[in-house]
Structure 1
C-alpha cells in the first residue's frame, strides 16, 4: 500500500491526480468520494491510499492547472509502480527520496507534461 499526499494543489488538480491513480490502481475510498477543504489559513493536504498491482491500465498525458507536490510513502516496489504511473500522465521532477529497509518516501513535483 502507498499513501499519496498532495500539497500546493487545487481541489481540481488533486482530483485529477487521484483520478489518474484510481484508473491504474485500486483506492481506499469510492470514486465518488469528495474531499473537502478545511476553513482557515492552513494549506490543504489531499491524501489517499493506493494498492498497486502488476497489471495496471496505462494513462496518457493529463493536464493540470498548476504544479503541485506529491509525497509517496510505502514499500519500495509499490512506490516505484505509482511513480511510473505518474510519469506516464504528468511531468515529474523528483525532489527527494528517503529509503529504509522496508519503506521508501519520495517527494515529487508534478506538472503538465509538454509534448
Structure 2
C-alpha cells in the first residue's frame, strides 16, 4: 500500500494523476474523486493505492501544470507506482528517504511532450 500526496495542483490534475494510478492498479473499490475544499488554504490531495506486480501499462495523460507528488510506502510498492507514473507523465525525482522497509519519494510530474 502506498500513500500518494499531491500538492500545487488543481482538482482536475489531481483527478488525472489518481485516474492513471487506478487504471494501472485496478481495485474493486471506487476511486475517490477530489473535491474542492472550503476556503483558500493550500490543498493536499491524498489517496492510498494498493499495488500489484501485474500492473496495466498506461499511456500519456494531460496535465494543465506541474504536480508535486510524494509517495510513501513499502520499497517495492513505491517503485511500482513510480513506473506507472513514468508511463503517463514526465517524472523528475526531487528527493528520496529510505527506512528499513519503507521509502518516501518526492516527484515532480509534468505532461509528456
Q: TM-score, normalised by structure 1?
A: 0.92
Indicate conservation of the 8 Å contact 2:14/2:34, yes or no: no
SS of structure 2 residue aligned to 1:69: strand
Give the direction of change, closer, same or farther, for the CA distance of 1:50–1:99 in structure 2 (3 Å limit): same
Equivalent residue number for residue 17 of structure 2: 17
Which one has a larger percent strand, Structure 1 or Structure 2?
2
Indicate conservation of the 8 Å contact 1:71/1:108, yes or no: yes
Equivalent residue number for residue 70 of structure 2: 71
In the alignment, the residues of structure 1 paired with residue 36 and residue 72 of structure 2 have an alpha-carbon distance, to the nearest angstrom, of 22
Task: State the 1:7 CA deviation.
Answer: 0.2
SS of structure 2 residue aligned to 1:93: strand
Aligned length: 113
Any stretches of 5+ residues in structure 1 without a counterpart? none
> Deviations for 1:9-30, whole angstroms, at most 9, x for unmatched residues?
1000000000000001145951
In the alignment, the residues of structure 2 paired with residue 8 and residue 73 of structure 1 have an alpha-carbon distance, to the nearest angstrom, of 18
Task: State the 1:97 CA deviation.
Answer: 0.2
Q: TM-score, normalised by structure 2?
A: 0.94
Task: State the 1:63 CA deviation.
Answer: 1.2
